[in-house]
């Protein structure tokens, strides 16, 4: 049995929470897809949900992927434990052979993206106005 202080981060257990997180921001790597959505209720902090489909492999492989992801969530989620969000991680087979450092880095990059406040885009460059009179951008007419 785990000690109560060992769990810094909550878990998603109900299907509606997983479905709601799928409507938020996404981040993809070859090892995982991360979906995150802010919550309005206060006090629960960061909660993770893990999903590994049957296409990935047999039950023992899927369980090993989930065990690795739980460890990675504890390490990478420490900096984001005060953020009030639900995050779902969809694991892929490449997690089985990846280094823990690579997995932690993937999840940290994903959390930076999915925890951004709404309205900020991944590229914060100002967009240029649409071209006038049907002209195409980057082309000059001679």
Position 27 scores a pLDDT of 95
Give the C-alpha separation, 49 to 22, whole Å. Answer: 11
Reported as a pLDDT band with limits 50, 70 and 90, residue 82 is confident
Average pLDDT on 81-107 reads 93
- In terms of C-beta distances under 8 Å and separation of at least 24 residues, what long-range contacts does 118-123 make, across chains too? 118/38
Domain 4-114 classification at class level: alpha beta
**CA of residue 59 relative to chain centroid, distance:** 23
Give the pLDDT confidence of 7-46 residue by residue, as tens digits.
457 899 999 999 999 999 999 999 999 999 988 876 778 8
pLDDT value of position 80: 83
| Tokens describing residue 93 | 């087979």
- Residue whose token pair is 């960061």: 46
CA distance 59 to 37: 28
Query: Is the whole model's pTM more than 0.85, yes or no?
Result: no
* Dihedral sign computed on CA atoms, order 24, 29, 33, 36: negative
What confidence score (pLDDT) does residue 136 get?
Answer: 58
Q: How far apart are CA 100 and CA 106, in angstroms?
A: 10
Does the pLDDT of residue 133 top 70, yes or no?
no
Q: CA-CA distance, 105 to 14, in Å (whole number)?
A: 27
Q: Give, to the nearest 10 degrees, the angle between helix 100-114 and helix 59-76.
A: 60
Range name among 22-26, 37-41, 69-73, 117-121 with the lowest pLDDT average: 117-121
High-pLDDT (> 70) share of the chain, %: 75
Summarize the confidence of residues 86-99 as an average pLDDT: 95
Q: What backbone phi and psi angles, to 5 degrees, belong to 78?
A: -55, -40
Name residue 50's beta-bridge partners.
89
Q: DSSP states of 107-132 as a string?
A: HHHHHHHHTSPTT--SS-PPPPPPPS
């Amino acid at each position: 049995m785990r000690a109560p202080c060992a769990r810094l981060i909550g878990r998603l257990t109900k299907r509606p929470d997983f479905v709601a997180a799928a409507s938020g921001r996404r981040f993809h790597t070859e090892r995982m897809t991360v979906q995150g959505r802010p919550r309005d209720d206060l006090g629960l902090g960061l909660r993770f949900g893990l999903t590994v489909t049957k296409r990935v492999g047999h039950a023992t492989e899927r369980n090993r992927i989930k065990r690795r992801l739980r460890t990675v969530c504890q390490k990478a989620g420490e900096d984001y434990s005060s953020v009030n969000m639900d995050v779902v991680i969809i694991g892929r087979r490449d997690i089985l052979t990846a280094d823990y450092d690579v997995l932690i880095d993937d999840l940290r990059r994903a959390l930076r993206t999915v925890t951004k406040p709404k309205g900020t885009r991944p590229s914060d460059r100002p967009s240029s106005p649409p071209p006038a009179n049907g002209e195409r951008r980057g082309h000059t007419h001679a």
